[in-house]
Amino acid sequence: MTVPLPSWRPGVIRDALVDFVDAVTTPDTPTFVPERERIAVFDNDGTLWCEQPVQVQVAFSQARLKQMARTNPAMADKQPYKAFLEHDLPTIHALGKKGVFEVAFAVHAGMTVDAFMQSAGAWLADARHPRFGRRYVDLVYQPQLELMSYLRANGFQTWIVSGGGADFIRQFAEKTYGVPPSQVIGSTVRTQVQDVNGRLDLFKLAQLDTFDDREVKVESIGLHIGRRPIFAFGNSDGDLSMMRYTLSGPGRRLALLLHHDDAEREVAYDRDFRLSPLVEALDHADAYGLRCVSMARDWATVFPPEQETGGKGAEARNGARRAA
């Protein structure tokens, strides 16, 4: 028998994953679930990729703000832009998660959705993590890539339900995670269709439409999926409603909570992370029926192996290491 999840260490969590998938996919058993109802939802920041020391979308909006400040230098003295431009993390985090994302989204107002996607794609192709020196899209969690593939191979749909911007995540989710744009749910700004020389395009406005966090994640699941998931994976109190909603339906269900307890290979944080704290879900995991995943204990590897291809990529990487 081949092991389906090589980057997951043997133990209660890997057993729980395999047992769950076996239970819902074995025909003619009371726990069987038809394929169309095999819905799995994953948070993104901190669940599928590294969100420390800075949310990737914040870094993206910092880059955009720098560009804007060149043509409008007065921005550099105005809060909250000043904090973003100066990478003043305490001030940024003091805005709260919603406030941070509102700034991050507002800086792309006036662009078409297509132009935004191109801009995000160009930035993601090069931008690197300040500590690890690798591209953000390469700092996804290898065990989660394997888990999503394993679920899909067993007839599941894998959805992302994130507080991050839906369009930003859609830019890389298909290539990186194998999740198509239509299965990415996230925070959104209002958009407006406009006729430009007889051609209709969709433009981003500055106004936040949905901030997809906490209870709103459940409402978004109702809006986009129209079915209660049977599997959920999160890492903060922002994911707790989604996990509890998943567990509140009939039949076999599984909800997992990733605990970042691995300072050596990634970062150790939970209740003190102001932007997205993990308190209630951690303290009441048993009462809510959540299974806690320890990054240190349960993951044999954290990030995918580095592709040392040399050439331009490796040079840029070394440059980033020197700069960090």
Which spans of this chain sit near a copy of itself (rule: CB under 8 A)?
Answer: 36, 113-114, 157, 166-167, 170, 174, 180-184, 188, 190-193, 195, 199-202, 215, 218-219, 222-228, 241, 244-245, 248
Closer of 62 and 183 to a copy of itself (Cβ):
183
Among candidates 149, 120, 126, which has minimal Cα distance to 138? 126
The alpha carbon of residue 140 and the mean position of all alpha carbons in its chain are separated, in whole angstroms, by 9
Closest distance of CB 120 from a copy of itself, Å: 12
Closer of 128 and 204 to a copy of itself (Cβ):
204
Closer of 199 and 312 to a copy of itself (Cβ):
199
Q: Look-up: residue for tokens 């993390």? A: 89
Closer of 78 and 190 to a copy of itself (Cβ):
190
Cα(47)–Cα(129) distance, rounded to whole angstroms? 17
Beta bridge partners of 135: 128
Closest distance of CB 166 from a copy of itself, Å: 7
Closest distance of CB 101 from a copy of itself, Å: 16
Closest distance of CB 164 from a copy of itself, Å: 14
Closer of 14 and 253 to a copy of itself (Cβ):
253
Q: Which two tokens stand for residue 114?
A: 């297509």
Closest distance of CB 125 from a copy of itself, Å: 19
Q: What is the DSSP track for 143-154?
A: HHHHHHHHHHHT
Among candidates 271, 256, 230, 34, which has minimal Cα distance to 141? 256
Residues 6+ apart with CB under 8 A from 138: 303, 304, 306
Closer of 83 and 124 to a copy of itself (Cβ):
124
Closer of 62 and 176 to a copy of itself (Cβ):
176
Q: Answer for the pair 73, 162: CB distance below 8 angstroms, yes or no.
A: no
Q: What is the DSSP track for 195-212?
A: EETTEEEEEEEEEEEE--
Three-class secondary structure of residue 253 per DSSP: coil
Closest distance of CB 258 from a copy of itself, Å: 20
Q: Which two tokens stand for residue 9?
A: 């260490």
Closer of 36 and 312 to a copy of itself (Cβ):
36
Closest distance of CB 46 from a copy of itself, Å: 22
Q: What is the DSSP track for 64-121?
A: HHHHHHHH-GGGGGSTTHHHHHTT-HHHHHHTHHHHHHHHHHHTTTTSBHHHHHHHHH
Among candidates 150, 146, 121, 113, which has minimal Cα distance to 38? 150
DSSP state of 320: H
Closest distance of CB 173 from a copy of itself, Å: 9
